[in-house]
Chain A
Amino acid sequence: MTRETDIDSLFAQLRSAEPCIQDRGFSTQVLLELEQKAGLSFFKDALITMLFTLIGCLLSYAFFPIAEFVVLLPSSIHISPMSLLTLGGAVALACSAAYWTLKND
């Protein structure tokens, strides 16, 4: 760099020669991104989610063999060290999965 190294005059020189950066689609890109972000309104989004949840519930109620499922449930639960260990392991696994998901989000 062979130019004057006095900081103030250097900045003054650059200030007076600041280039006007051409838009070249930048504004359009910003506005497009904003439109995409805006997407559906909160209420429309909530309405669609609720509608599909309701359909899901109705279908489950109509087709899920709940009686057969209830028969499979144990009438009593015996807590053993092994079942506690399994439960602990499952909780640890779920926590690790949640942590990993959040970290990589």
Chain B
Amino acid sequence: MNLTDQALIDAVVKEDSHRAFAELVKRYQSPLRYSLRQLTGWNEALADDLAQETFSKAQSALSSFQGKAKFSSWLYRIAYNLMLSHFRVARNRELTGGLTGREEQSLWLSKDHEAIVPNEPLQLHRDLAQAMNHLSDNQRMALHLSLHRECTQREISDIMSIPLGTVKTLIARGKISLREQLADWKSRDTS
């Protein structure tokens, strides 16, 4: 199926086509799951849960997609909001001591450096995700969209629903923090 995203979206909205939505999921599952892994400290289970929820929300809200932005940007906006909401709930539960065993594992596994298997082909991706985990949620998202997805600052502003000036600040500060983080790792590795 070589239809454009818009044609597939039209088929889902107008004809309630499951095949068209399945094609959209297949088309975007890999980049979305990769991005969410980068944004969750390479926590694969959490990233996949968030990706699944993103597609679920996207399907129910697809009629509101106006085609002004790219479909991928629209998906990232949903994913970003879900991620923020997840971390907010997790932090609140952590503060009130209400985490269950599985939730605690889901929240903290990504912060455990020992959990990484060394010398894998994905090692560098995991390393960066771990380093990015020390940045704020906003900085992580802005940096990822800017440097990895090569979104324009205007697009990032739309995805994150924040002013353009804030996007620039987040990227600049995120780069500084990430550089410090990586330098710290480098010094630990060489010592």
Write the residues of chain A forming the contact surface with B, with a CB cutoff of 8 angstroms: 1-3, 5, 7-8, 10-11, 13-15, 17-21, 23, 26-27, 29-31, 33-34, 37
Contacts and interface: CB of A to CB of B under 8 A. Distances in A.
Contacts of B125: 14, 17-19
Interface of B: 18, 21-22, 25-26, 29-31, 33-34, 48, 51-52, 55-56, 59, 121-122, 124-125, 127-128, 131, 147-148, 150, 175, 178-179, 182-183, 185-186, 188-190
Contact of B148 (A3, A14, A20, A34): A14
Top 5 closest A-B pairs, CB basis?
Answer: A1-B185, A11-B147, A5-B182, A21-B30, A27-B25
Given A27-B22, A31-B22, A17 B175 contact: no
Query: Quick one: which of A13, A15, A20, A34 has the most chain B CB within 10 A?
Result: A34
A69 to B, nearest CB: 44
A86 B14 CA distance: 58
Nearest to A10: B128
